[in-house]
A and B are shown apart, each in its own frame.
Chain A
Amino acid sequence: MGCNLCRLFLVIADEEGEPYGIGMPGPADQASEEVQWIKAAQRGEREPFGFLIERYQRRVLSHVARLVRRRDDAEDIAQEVFIKVFRALRTFNFQSSFAAWLSRVTVNHCYDYLRRERASRIDFDWQAPEGEQEEFDTRVEKAEERSPDPEKQAVLRDLVSKLLDRAPAEDRIVLGLKELEGMSVEEIAEILDLNLSTVKVRLHRARKRMLEDFRSLARGK
C-alpha cells in the first residue's frame, strides 16, 4: 500500500499537469488527491480506484462487519460494495464528502443484504424457542451471581448479538450505526439521508423493541 501511494504521488498530476509533490501528504493534499482519484475513476480508470479502495477498505469492512455481523461473509460483501461504488461513481457529484457517500452506499448494500437474508430465512417467528429462553436465562443469571465482569459481559454480548441477528433490518442498521459504530444522530441522518427527528424516532423504536426482546429472552417474560 505504501509503495502504491509513493508511486501515486510521483505519477498522478492534476488537470493542469502540476504534480502533487513528493512525501507524506497533509489533509488538504489528501483531499485534493482524492478528488483526482475519484475523477479518474469516474472516467473508468481502475488504478486510481485501487487507491480509493486502499484508503477506505477498513472503513467499509468495519461497517459491513458490524451491520451484517457475518465475519466470514464480510469481505465478500465489502467487495460487492466496492464494485457497486465503482459502477455508481459517475453519479457522485462531490456535494457531500466521498467518505459519507461511500458509507451511504455501504449501509444501503448492507440493508439490502439483511432484507434479502431475512426474507430467505424460514424462522420468521421473532419469539425465542422455549429451550433457548431458559438457556439464556440460566446463563445470564449465573454470570450475574458469580459476577466476574468479563464473563457477564461475554454473556450479554452473545445475547445482544443474537437479538441483533433476529432484529428487523431497519433496527439493525440504526442500532449498528449508533451503538456499535458510535456515530452521532447527525452522522446517521446524513448517511441514511433522513432528517434528525426520523432518526431519533427510529432509534427509540429500535431500542424499545430490542429491550422488549431482551427481557422476554433473558427473563422468559
Chain B
Amino acid sequence: MRCQKVRKMLLEGWSQDLEESTGTHLSGCPECRLYAHDLGRLRSGFLALAHEPVPEPSWGFAERLLRRLEEGADTQTFVEEFFERVGRRVVYVAGTLALLLLLVLALPSSGPLRSPTAAELYWSQSDVASMENDTGLSFESLDSSDAVQAPAAPEESGSGNKP
C-alpha cells in the first residue's frame, strides 16, 4: 500500500480503528508511523479542547438583550431591511445588470471609430464610368486594371488634364 493512500485513510478514519492493511503498512514504514503518531496527538489536542467547559450565559443575558432590542438596536435602515428581505446576492446581480445596461446605453449608437476598408478606398468601375460621363475625362490612361484610387485620383488627374 502506498504511503499517500495510507495517510489519506488515516485522515479520513480520524477517530476509527485502523484497517489491518494500514496497520501492516505502518509497522514497516517509519515515516507513516510518525505521521499517524502526530495525527493521534492532534486528535488528543482536539479532544482535550472539546472537553473544555463552555461559558454559561451571565445572569440577565436575555433581559439585557431585550433591552438592547427595545432601545433600538433592532432598528435598521430601509436599505438594510431591503437587503435582508430580497437577499444580497439578488441585489448585487441586479445592480451589476443595471450597470451593464447603463454602459450599453451610454455608448454611442454609431459604434466605435474604424479606419476605412479597402472597398471604400477604391471606386468601382461603374463609379468611374459615371465620373467620366460627368466630367468628360478619361481614366483609361491610368495603370489600373479595374479600379481607380478614390480620394486623391480624381482631383489630381482632373487638375492635371485641365486645358
Contact = CB atoms under 8 A, between A and B. Distances in A.
Contacts of A175: 46
Contacts of A54: 62
Interface residues of A, number: 49
A153 B48 contact: yes
B52 A83 contact: no
A86 B48 contact: no
A90 B124 CA distance: 73
A22 interface: no
A20 to B, nearest CB: 20
A161 B49 contact: yes
Interface string A203-220: 010011011001100110
B57 A57 contact: yes
Interface in B37-67: 38-39, 41-42, 44-50, 52, 54-58, 61-66
A128 to B, nearest CB: 15
A53 B55 contact: no
B93 interface: no
A210 B45 CA distance: 12
Given A46-B70, A153-B48, A182-B50, A211 B62 contact: no
A53 B42 contact: no
Contact of A154 (B48, B57, B62): B48
A53 B62 contact: yes
Contacts of A152: 44
B68 A79 contact: yes
A46 to B, nearest CB: 6
B76 interface: yes
Contacts, number: 112
A38 interface: no
Nearest to A62: B54
Contact of A65 (B8, B54, B73): B54
Interface string B58-96: 100111111011100110100001001100000000000
B134 interface: no
5 contacts: A47-B66, A140-B41, A204-B11, A214-B42, A219-B38
Per CB-CB distance, the 7 closest pairs between chain A and chain B, nearest first, are A160-B45, A156-B45, A157-B48, A53-B62, A153-B48, A179-B46, A62-B54
Interface of A: 1, 46-47, 49-50, 53-54, 57-58, 61-62, 65-66, 71, 74-75, 78-79, 82-83, 86-88, 90-91, 140, 152-154, 156-157, 159-161, 164, 175, 179-182, 204, 207-208, 210-211, 214-215, 218-219
Interface of B: 8, 11-12, 14, 35, 38-39, 41-42, 44-50, 52, 54-58, 61-66, 68-70, 73-74, 76, 81, 84-85
Given A65-B55, A156-B45, A204-B8, 12 more contacts: A53-B65, A57-B61, A61-B56, A75-B61, A87-B84, A88-B84, A157-B48, A157-B49, A160-B48, A181-B50, A218-B38, A219-B38
